[in-house]
Amino acid sequence: MIGLLSPEKRSSLIAVSVILIGLLLFSFLTTGNLSLISTDGFGAYVGTINAGDFSITLLSGLLRGMLLFLVAAGLSIVFGLMDVLNFAQGGYFMIGAYIAYEVHHTPAIIAAIPDGNLRFLLGALLAVAIGAALGAALERGLLRPLYARPLFQLVITFGVSILLVEATKLIWGVSPRSWSTVFGLNEGSFQLFGQQFSVYRLFVIGVGFALIIAVALLLQRTRIGIIIRAGVQDSQMVEALGINVRAVFTAVFTLGCAVAALGGAVAAPFLGASLGLSTEFLLGAVAAVVLGGLGSYEGTALASLLVGITQAVVAKFGVQYLNQPVWESLSPMILLALVLLLRPSGLFGKE
Amino acid sequence: MQLTKGFSWRAVQKNWLLIAALILLIGFPFIVGALTNSDPTARRGLAVYWQGIMIELLIYGILTMSYNLLFGFTGVISFGHALFFGLAGYLLGGFQRAPELAGSGLLIGIVIALAVCAGLGLLIGTATLRLKGVYFAIFTLAIAEMVYIFLSRYEPTGSEDGFTLAALPEWFDPTRSRLTFFYIVAALFILTFILIRRLMESPTGAVLLAIRENESRARTVGFNTLAYKLLAIVLAGVLAGVAGILFTLLNKKVGPEMLGTAYTVNPLLMTIIGGAGTLLGPVIGAMGLRLLELQLRNVQIVIGESVLDIGRTLPIILGALFILVVIVFPYGIVGTFTRWRLNRQARSAERIAKQAEALKSVS
């Protein structure tokens, strides 16, 4: 697979691998033999053994990275196609989380569908449907009239993100929701180097990996994928060939919002639903997109994992040495700032 | 830069609206005092209450004018303008309440706050302004959010609650001598307006407009567009810092909400509603919208059984307004009015030309 990449991509890939291995090694070395309790967003765990801590950090990072990818994928492809950076993408993630929470915790729905797994599935599907509907509405109703004014496109997606948060605040209030019911998938756990780890997290990582591969196949093997890739290269040229890029763009935009909402839905069982998810995941995803290189799909996928793992390592390091959980939330933004300062075209981006 | 021109009656005739507004602003405390039959120099009363409102409107005006300088005149979009506003407030507060600095803390705070705003503008500008516009939007949003998260969890500055200022000198205190504070804010507001107006009338302003219209063309003509954009961001940052300092002094407290998205979204919305890229637009937008917000805050509409609490739904109404304005009213109040007037002038000129043509053919 490495051989298929162009030389500069190969060097970027090597750079990413080196950074990843470095981060993991760092987390491995700094875990020490301290007994510590971490209460970051991914639940509490008690660490005593190096290998266990190491695997937990890795899995937490992978999990966070997968969730970031679900938001970043749409962001990246949409930007590549039409130069629109959708600042509302985090809002869709947040909406997805609230919908999944609501479906799982409303008494009437619990009475109708007692099976937790089924209810979760229903919540996720509903989140996807609503995310897609809202995404299509945003693209058709608000972005289309503004193609002549790109500055205002940015302004409007920013406005929509504010509107989504305010609407959510009006419907669900300001207090965050934490997932209280347990269901089949969520119950299972397994032992890894003496550590408890929920099967559910593995499930989310699996969903993320499946989506990475599914989207890659879509881009590489289908006609629409060819149009998208060609459009990312030069959308005017594709239009000149008689292909309706706008229609493809609407589809991609809608799909991107739906996937972001799905991300929120699958994240809800351990992140809960709160207003802060919107900006947090937007900025994390933007960090991943910029780090990967605006418009580069494989860059986005790799960078999402990189940002996620960085966050997990920083969370661990922050709790252990700085006693400040704030660094975990800051790390994507610091990373983003560093990338913009040092290599604004990202790891895989063209100059 | 020269701030005043020589006196001439033509200038007075041309600017009669502004001069009338200026006289109204200077006379405001006494006009309101006479209208409400209360003493404008007292410590409380209706006149003083309205002075407070006006001070807030003027501060919003300065903030929005600074946003307009970037967004409206230069075409650079920032999603983190609250960063300058809030950070200036925090820096001022931090130095002002430091006991070691005793009496000079306020002055040191103001100088450092403005210097940091300028430096931050320069830093953010050099890092991202040579890239596509979207990077600047991302970067400002990220930095603002970063500082917001940090300050809302940083215990020495009171985390979520922020902190209150130490006692201010009597003549400067907005509660004890509000009239003086009113005139300080009014003077700074007028100065900001004149500064931006003179800037936009100068050759530098013309280059800023050229950058907004077509940056690569401006660069091709030979202007160092980066330097001009840096000037705009530094100036906008300092002016937003001035607004933040005044806001902090008015409320005598700072909190992380000063760095929140509200202080980015509001100036953006106010700029667009009033008219982006116009001189008066942001002032009208800021004052109108803020006044509306203050008036609607406690309104409840009762329809039969259901009570619609406007205060609670106000943010979502503003959000919807934001989107509506961008789609259907993009030139804002002043922009739309100017276009309408220019259209009318063009039409009447056409009519006169036609009449002249008709007369010529008759003779």
3-state secondary structure chain A: CHHHCCHHHHHHHHHHHHHHHHHHHHHHHHCCCCCEEEEECCEEEEECCHHHHHHHHHHHHHHHHHHHHHHHHHHHHHHHHHCCCCCCHHHHHHHHHHHHHHHHHCHHHHHHCCCHHHHHHHHHHHHHHHHHHHHHHHHHHHHHHHCCCHHHHHHHHHHHHHHHHHHHHHHHCCCCECCCCCCHHHHCEEEECCEEEEHHHHHHHHHHHHHHHHHHHHHHHCHHHHHHHHHHHHHHHHHHCCCCHHHHHHHHHHHHHHHHHHHHHHHHHHHCECCCHHHHHHHHHHHHHHHHCCCCHHHHHHHHHHHHHHHHHHHHHHHHHHCCCHHHHHHHHHHHHHHHHHCCCCCCCCC
Please report the number of interchain residue pairs, chain A to chain B, with beta-carbon separation below 8 angstroms: 103
Residues forming a β-bridge with A45: A38
Phi, psi of A31 (to 5 degrees): -65, -35
Cβ separation A336–B131 shorter than 8 A: no
Q: In sequence order, which residues have a C-beta less than 8 Å from that of residue A119 and are 6 or more positions away?
A: A103, A104, A109, A110, A113, A183
Q: What is the pLDDT of residue A51?
A: 58
Match domain A2-342 to its CATH number in 1.10.246, 3.30.70, 1.20.120, 1.10.3470. 1.10.3470
The reply to whether B100 falls in a domain is yes
Is there a domain that residue B51 lies in? yes
User: Are A166 and B127 inside 8 Å of each other by CB?
Assistant: no
Q: Do A169 and B319 touch (CB under 8 A)?
A: no
Q: Which pLDDT belongs to residue A186?
A: 60
Which residues in A lie closer than 8 A to residue B72 (C-beta atoms)?
none
Cβ neighbours of residue A1 closer than 8 Å, sequence gap 6 or more: none
Q: Domain residues for B253? A: 16-258
User: Quick check: B265 and A337 CB within 8 A?
Assistant: no
pLDDT of the residue at A196: 65
Touching A: B residues 249-278, CB under 8 Å: 261, 265, 268, 272
CB atoms A326 and B315 under 8 Å:
no
- pLDDT digit string (tens) for B80-95? 999 999 999 999 999 9
Q: Which two tokens stand for residue B177?
A: 């001598």
**Nearest chain B Cα distance for residue A4, angstroms:** 30
List of chain A residues whose C-beta atoms are within 8 Å of the C-beta of residue B79: 87, 158
Per the domain annotation, does B269 fall within a domain? no
At residue A52, the pLDDT reads 60
B142 contact residues in A (CB cutoff 8 A): 283, 286-287, 333, 336-337
pLDDT on residue B115: 96
Average pLDDT along chain A: 80
Q: Which residues of chain A make contact with B313, given a CB cutoff of 8 A?
A: 170
Confidence of residue B228 (pLDDT cuts 50, 70, 90): very high
- For B209, residues 6+ apart whose C-beta sits below 8 A from its C-beta are B73, B200, B277
Interface residue B75 vs chain A (CB under 8 A): yes
What is the SS3 assignment for B76?
Answer: coil
Length of chain A measured in residues: 351
Q: Do B323 and A326 touch (CB under 8 A)?
A: no
Instruction: State which residue of chain A sits closest to B74, comparing Cα positions.
Output: A151
- Residue A350: the pLDDT is 60
Q: What's the pLDDT at B81?
A: 93
* Residue A43 backbone dihedrals phi, psi, to 5 degrees: 90, 170
CB-based contact, B141 to chain A, within 8 Å: yes
Q: Do A142 and B134 touch (CB under 8 A)?
A: no
Interface touch B142/A287, C-beta < 8 Å:
yes
Return the residue in B272, B326, B328 with the most chain A beta carbons within 10 A, the one to mutate for interface testing: B326
Distance from CA of A159 to the nearest CA of B (A): 6
What values do phi and psi take at B342, rounded to 5?
-65, -40
> Which residue does chain B place closest to A83, by CA atoms?
B134
Q: Cβ of B329 under 8 Å from any chain A Cβ?
A: no
The burial class, CB within 10 Å (0-12 / 13-18 / 19+), for A220 is exposed
Nearest Cβ partner for B323 among A163, A337, A340? A163
Q: In this model, does residue A4 exceed pLDDT 60?
A: no
What pLDDT digit, counting tens, does each position of B237-271 carry?
A: 999 999 999 999 999 999 999 998 889 989 999 99
Contact between A289 and A303 under an 8 Å Cβ cutoff? The reply is: yes
Q: Please give the tally of structural domains in chain B.
A: 1
CB contact under 8 A, B134 and A159: no
Q: Taking the model in full, what pTM does it have?
A: 0.85
Which chain B residue shows the shortest CA-CA distance from A161? B319
pLDDT at B58 over 90: yes
Q: Please identify among residues 151-210 of chain B the ones whose CB lies closer than 8 Å to any CB of chain A.
A: 153-154
Tell me which residue in B145, B313, B322 faces A159 most closely, judged by beta carbons: B322
Read off the pLDDT of residues A56-95 as tens digits, 9 standing for 90 and up.
788 888 899 999 999 999 898 888 888 888 999 999 999 9
The angle at the Cα of B154, spanning B148 to B159, to the nearest 5 degrees, equals 80
Compare all CA atoms of chain B with the CA of A337 and give the residue at the minimum distance: B139
The answer to whether residue A272 scores a pLDDT higher than 80 is yes
**A155·B145 Cβ contact <8 A:** no
In chain B, what residues touch A156 (CB-CB under 8 Å)?
323, 326-327
Any domain includes B115: yes
- Residue A32: pLDDT over 50: no
Provide long-range contacts, Cβ within 8 A and 24+ apart, for B326-330.
B326/A146, B326/A152, B326/A155, B326/A156, B326/A159, B326/B272, B327/A142, B327/A145, B327/A146, B327/A156, B329/B273, B330/A149, B330/A152, B330/B272
Q: How confident is the model at residue A30 (pLDDT cuts 50, 70, 90)?
A: low
Rounded to whole angstroms, the Cα distance separating A256 from A238 reads 21
Backbone angles phi, psi at A41, to 5 degrees: -60, -15
Cross-chain Cβ contact B326/A155 below 8 Å = yes
B103 domain-assigned: yes
Q: State whether residue B308 sits within 8 Å of chain A by CB.
A: no
Disruptive mutation site among B68, B126, B140, B141 for chain A (greatest number of A CBs within 10 Å): B141
- Whether B138 sits inside 8 A of A340 (CB atoms) is yes
Inter-chain contact B261–A160, Cβ cutoff 8 Å? no
Q: Which residues of A touch B75 (CB under 8 A)?
A: 151
Mean pLDDT of B347-353: 89
Q: Are A302 and A287 in contact (CB under 8 A)?
A: no
* CA distance linking residue B66 with residue B164, whole number of Å: 26
Which of A251, A271, A275 has the alpha carbon at shortest distance from A161? A275
Range of A114-118, B100-104, B140-144 with top mean pLDDT: B140-144
Which of B145, B212, B270, B271 best probes binding to A when mutated, by most A CB atoms within 10 angstroms?
Answer: B145
**Which range scores top for mean pLDDT: A35-44, B2-11, B27-36, B169-178?**
B27-36
Q: How confident is the model at residue A48 (pLDDT cuts 50, 70, 90)?
A: very low
| pLDDT tens sequence across B102-120 | 778 888 999 999 999 999 9
